[in-house]
Amino acid sequence: MKINDVILQTVTKIVVFIILTFGVELFLSGHNNPGGGFIGGLVLSSAFVLLYLVFDIETVHKGIPFDFKKIAAFGVLLAVGTGLGSVLFGASFLTQTASHFNLPVFGETELATVVLFEAGVALTVVGVVVTIILSISEDV
């Protein structure tokens, strides 16, 4: 007998959108307010874990065909790459810089290299957390 969980799946689609939006907001506010790559990555990974709990693994893999181990590896590469980038310009490892640019749509905008580092941290956290949850689910 198949369990009818249409309501749970429908509500989950809405809740996942809200969680992803909140995770991106936490990530983007990280270098000026509390938040950043780590907590943003945890919130983003909780949305993926919720999808895996409500839907089966095959269904989620059809909709999100990413290898989360590769996402974690790319995140580490991005975070370390921002540190090495500062060394190439003669500064200390992980030295961050920021500048103001006048962008056509957004106007005066501050762009900082810390955003790239935080993106690497967020991708690493998402990749590791989802990989751990998927590994645990294989054992059950």
If you write DSSP's letter for every residue of 20-74 in order, what string do you get?
HHHHHHHHHTTTTSS--HHHHHHHHHHHHHHHHHHS-HHHHHHHS---HHHHHHH
Residues 6 or more apart whose CB falls under 8 angstroms from that of 5 comprise 54
Per-residue pLDDT at 2:
59
Q: pLDDT above 90 covers what percent of the chain? A: 55
CA distance 96 to 61: 36
For residues 57 and 139, the answer to whether their CB atoms sit within 8 Å is: no
pLDDT tens by residue, 123-133: 999 999 999 99
Please state the φ and ψ torsions of residue 111, each to the nearest 5 degrees. Answer: -115, 130
Sign of CA dihedral 23, 63, 14, 137: negative
Q: What is the mean pLDDT of the chain?
A: 89
The CA distance from 76 to 137, in Å, is 24
Q: What is the pLDDT of residues 61-98, one digit of tens each?
A: 999 999 999 999 999 999 999 989 888 888 898 888 88
User: In the block, which residue shows the tokens 């967020």?
Assistant: 122
Q: What would the pLDDT profile of 103-120 be if each residue is shown by its tens digit?
A: 888 788 887 888 899 999
pTM over 0.85: yes
Q: Are 93 and 84 in contact (CB under 8 A)?
A: yes
Question: Given this model, what pLDDT does residue 1 score?
Answer: 42
Kindly state the percentage of the chain with pLDDT values over 70. 96
